[in-house]
Amino acid sequence: MAIDAHNSALDLSGHFTLTANSRGISTAITLPGDVHGALLAADLIPDPYFGENEKPVMWVNETAWTMERSFSADATDIDGYLTLTLSEVDCIATILLNGEVIAKTDNSFVRHDIDVTGKVRAGENTLRLEFDIAPDVAKARADAHPFPIPFTYNYQTNGLKGIHMNFIRKAACHAGWDWGICLMPIGVYGTMSLRKSRLARQESVQVDQRHSEGSVDLVIKIRLHAFAAGEVKLEHTIDGQLIAEMIPVDKGENVLTHTITIRDPDLWWPAGQGAQPLYELVTDLDGEITTRRIGLRKLEWIVEKDEIDHSFKCRINGRDITMMGANWIPADAIPSRITPDVIRDLLGSAKAANMNMLRIWGGGQYEPDYFYDLCDELGILIWHDFMFSCMSYPSNREFLESVETEITQQVRRLSHHACLALWCGDNEVIGSLNWYPETKSQKERYVANYDRLNSLLQRIVEDEDPIRRFWPSSPSLGYMDFSDGWHSDTRGDFHYWDVWHSAKSFDAYRTVNPRFASEFGFQSFTSMNVIETFADEKDRNPSSPVMENHQRNNGGNARIIETMTRYFRFPRDFDQMVFLSQIQQGLAIKTAIEYWRSTKPRCMGTLYWQINDIWPVASWSSLDYGGQWKLMHYMARRFYSLVNVVAVPDAENTAVTLKAVNDSSLLTNSTIVLQAVALSGSTRELWSGTLEIPQDTAIVATEIALPDLAEDEFLLFSWTNADGKPLGQNDYFPKPYKAYELPRPSISATWAEVDGVAAVTLDTDATALFTTISVDAPGIFSDNSITLIPGHPVTLTFTPRHGKTVEIAALVASTRVRNLAETF
Ligand code: BMA
């Protein structure tokens, strides 16, 4: 094996032997990877995602595992200072090199750089990782702690025992969540390499931006670890400028700062607002080369007193831009399945639905570098929680020291990214002080305990990434405010769960007026073709044990079904119930987001819960596990379009205000036509007007009294640009759908190839609601879930996912067109 000349690294990933003596198992594992993936490949466990297999594979995380490999090094590989780098060991392990203990790992969010100078032999070597049983370690720590630290109820579903995740540092949702399977994976992810340095190695390269008129100063801070005193050669290159220096260093940590000025910067914008130019910074330390791609943008959070209370908005390059997006959870419960291709597909779907922000939620994980690189490329801003969620955490010295290393490293790793918009202390930890008997009865103790951790996080952000905003928690009313602000909508960010968790009507979304809605969601079943991957035909029933296992929120299936009876006629079979659940989900979230966007500039952000799934499950996600679009994702593309027209009914539902929202940077001239459409298909115009919709505003277009509509009529409104080009269409039904006598439409789908792109035209003989086309091949239609009116055919294009090509014949053969009327 030869050291990679470019980066002086000997790659140690590859085949290891995986052993569990207590179970008599010895098999192979490929690292980076995880134990479940290896056992699955060796046929030693059944697919954990199928049926109720979660329980029969629980023994895997109750077992002590060992991973070992040998590797050979030649004399030239080891004639320098050597560092063994393991970027993510999950979780508590002893690392041995040639039989000698060289490190212990305890926090899967910490990168380990282990000095192994003089410990690697020319010839054969062995690297061995001995893992402890994490749930047992967590329990022992909890038992030894002087007072109880309650852990979240979110993963105590389906009879599984609770795990004290607050005493160990790994993704909290590895123990399950109210959408997640409990696997408690064990593994090694990311980089595994032996690095050779002449004198010093790179620890981090951070880039701060200072914007002024016509130029940006980039402050480049490199941290390096020198094994001895001496001199290193350091070069930074960016935008045709070179800094090259011989620099004296002391033994230990050295911090070197340089400033480069970029004139006439080509600015980076979030998706939808402009381009995402990236400047490449190459850093060469004695031959160890790293590259960073830097997007130049000024990003501020404006949290200041205003006539309502306090604003909460993101200002980019001087413009207040509405954030539109969703919450992100880890992409798979089996970590080895998280690959650049999977992430690219999911983030591509976020952008395709007109999102410009995702919130990386605090019960999951810090994502790999390529995740943030893709967000920089795509223009998706990241609200980044630190990894604390829904429970209290200890604040003893050992725990805080580990967290300090974790947060310091993560901030230094990620701070150069243009996409990184905000560091947030945690998810719902302040709120959770009101959830548990222990925390409720001794509030002062747990608030003080919380503040020790939270103020540490704030201090690290201020020291390590001074230009970025730290926000204490999500949701939060503001700094040093530990009150339960969940129902206060005049400042801070807002989580609104009354519609899902308290079964309020969808209209309840219009009773609150958040400044920034960072969480709200409504569940649906995962699509039928995904259900087929985990449920046999006999189990395809909402209250079968298998379907209940694939629903982790207590009472979730009942909530989905009960809501149907409020808004729809009851579906005639399971397949229709699954389809209807996705219509209903989309409608709930559309109601919230259209209304909150219409209150601009009061509300400057909506991030729904949640964009993706970690395994196949009934959940609040708009993408199925595997990345397929649920109906809501198509609706999201419409309700997040930059220019949108929405109907806002009054509280009594006697009148509707049409509001035009323009979140683009350009004044839009638009002609809006409002019609009353009868289900028979006849239409009559109620109003039309040509409006100037100034950039960054929401304005009233018109108002209409609802009694003017006949029994079977609804409102349909469409808008075009100044040249008559259609920009969008939307509708409003004043009564629940179940109250209408829906015709039974017959819908035709005619495929054609237009300029090499597969296109399909949908036509109907009667009004068809939520008209949805699907095909077997993975792909995305240009629109879906459409209100289709007779005489107004609609042509959609189809784009295969993962860059594949699909024959038209295959599309034709698997075409299925559905609509609301067929569900009952
Ligand atoms: C939120 C999240 C998660 C949870 C979701 C659904 O508040 O922060 O903890 O999965 O609710 O209940």
Q: Judge contact between 392 and 429, C-beta under 8 A.
A: yes
Confidence check: pLDDT of 158 > 70: no
What does the pLDDT look like over 752-789, one tens digit per residue? 998 889 999 999 999 999 999 999 999 999 999 999 99
Quote the CA–CA distance of 501 and 608 in Å, as a whole number: 15
At residue 645's C-alpha, the angle toward residues 641 and 649, to 5°, is 130
Nearest CA to ligand 1 atom 3: 178
Residue among 329, 383, 388, 390 to mutate when testing ligand 1 (max atoms within 8 A of CB): 390
> For ligand 1, what atom is nearest to the CA of residue 553?
12
**Ligand 1 centre distance from Cα of residue 689 (Å):** 42
Closest ligand 1 atom to 474 CA: 8
Q: Mean pLDDT across the stretch 315-326?
A: 98
**Looking at residue 486, what is its pLDDT?**
78
Show the 3-state SS of 185-224: CCEEEEEEEEEEECCEEEEEEEEEEEEECCEEEEEEEEEE
* pLDDT value, residue 485: 73
CA-based torsion, 336, 340, 345, 349: positive or negative: positive
Distances (CA, A) of 547 to 50, 185, 334: 11, 23, 20
pLDDT, tens digit, 9 for 90 and up, residues 394-403: 999 999 999 9
Question: What b/e sequence results for 277-291 when a residue is b if at least 16 CB atoms lie within 10 Å of its CB, and e otherwise?
Answer: bbbebebbbbebeee
Residue 559 to residues 214, 562, 744, Cα–Cα distance (Å)? 55, 5, 28
CA of 320 to the centre of ligand 1 (A): 28
The span from the CA of 761 to the CA of 245, in Å, is: 64
Q: Which of 554, 563, 557, 458 is nearest to 507 (CA)?
A: 563
Find the 821 Cα to ligand 1 centroid distance in Å: 33
Please check the confidence at residue 181 and state whether its pLDDT lies above 80. Answer: yes
DSSP class per residue in 460-489? HHHHH-TTSPEE-SBS-SSTT--S--TT--
**pLDDT at site 241:** 97
Tokens of 78: 């080891």
Which tens digit of pLDDT belongs to each residue from 454-475? 999 999 999 999 999 999 999 9
The rounded Å distance from CA 620 to ligand 1 centre is 9
Residue nearest to atom 10 of ligand 1 (CA): 178
Q: What distance lies between CA 298 and its chain's CA centroid?
A: 23
Residue 13 CA to ligand 1 centre (angstroms): 35
Distance 386 CA to ligand 1 centre (A): 15
Ligand 1 atom closest to the Cα of residue 427 is 8
Number of CB atoms found within 10 A of residue 528's CB = 17
**CA nearest neighbour of 225 among 200, 250, 198, 188:** 200
- Point out the least confidently predicted range of 23-37, 119-133, 481-495: 481-495
Q: Give the count of beta carbons closer than 10 Å to the beta carbon of residue 76.
A: 11
| Residue 363 CA, closest ligand 1 atom number | 9
Residue nearest to atom 6 of ligand 1 (CA): 178
* Ligand 1 centroid to residue 175 C-alpha, Å: 15
Pairing status of strand 319-321 against strand 313-316 = antiparallel
* Mutational pocket test of ligand 1: of 151, 178, 383, 484, the residue with most ligand atoms within 8 Å of the beta carbon: 178
Q: If 0-12 CB within 10 Å is exposed, 13-18 middle and 19+ buried, where does residue 594 land?
A: buried
Task: Give the residue with greater pLDDT, 162 vs 88.
Answer: 88
Q: Cα(157) to centroid of ligand 1, in Å?
A: 14
Provide the residue type at 218 as one letter: L
With a cut of 90, say whether residue 803 has pLDDT above it.
no
Q: How far apart are CA 521 and CA 505, in angstroms?
A: 13
Task: Ligand 1, residue 609: give the atom nearest the CA.
Answer: 5
pLDDT at 162: 79
Q: Residue 88 — pLDDT band, cuts 50, 70, 90? A: very high
Nearest CA to ligand 1 atom 4: 178
Distance from the CA of 365 to the center of ligand 1, in angstroms?
A: 15
Split at pLDDT 50, 70, 90, the class of 6 is: low
Task: Decide if pLDDT at 8 tops 80.
Answer: no
Residues whose CB is less than 8 angstroms from the CB of residue 468 and which lie 6 or more positions away in sequence, other chains included: 415, 420, 422, 423, 461
Q: Which residue type is seen at 495? A: H
Predicted confidence at residue 755, as pLDDT, reads: 87
Ligand 1 site-directed mutation target among 155, 328, 360, 361, most atoms within 8 Å of CB: 361
Ligand 1 centroid from CA 431, angstroms: 12
Is residue 610 reached through a cis peptide bond, with omega within 30 degrees of 0 on the bond before it? yes
Indicate which residue's Cα is closest to atom 12 of ligand 1.
Answer: 178
Cα-to-centroid distance, 337 and ligand 1 (Å): 23
Q: To the nearest whole percent, how much of the chain has pLDDT over 70?
A: 99
pTM score above 0.95? yes
Residue 501 CA: nearest ligand 1 atom is: 12
Report the separation in Å between the CA atom of 45 and the middle of ligand 1, taken as the mean of its atom positions: 30
- Which amino acid makes up residue 203? E
Q: Which atom of ligand 1 is nearest to the CA of 178?
A: 10
pLDDT tens for 475-532 read 999 999 998 777 789 999 999 999 999 999 999 999 999 999 999 999 999 999 999 9
- What angle in degrees, to the nearest 10, is found between the helix axes of 631-639 and 574-598? 20
Residue 4 pLDDT > 70? no
**Is residue 288 within 8 Å of 386, Cβ to Cβ?**
no
Please give the pLDDT value at position 581. 98
User: Tokens 């994702």 correspond to what residue?
Assistant: 633
Q: Is the dihedral of CA 476, 482, 486, 490 positive or negative?
A: negative
For ligand 1, the distance from its centroid to the CA atom of residue 646, given in whole angstroms, is: 28
Pairing of strands 66-73, 14-20: antiparallel
Per-residue confidence at 3, pLDDT binned at 50, 70, 90? low
Residue position matching structure tokens 């969703």: 326
Q: How much is the mean pLDDT over the chain?
A: 96
Atom of ligand 1 nearest to the CA of 329: 10
Q: Which residue has its alpha carbon closest to ligand 1 atom 9? A: 390
Q: Which residues line ligand 1 (CB under 6 A)?
A: 154, 177-179, 363, 390, 427-428, 495, 519, 609
pLDDT at 153: 81
Tokens of residue 437, six digits: 């008997």
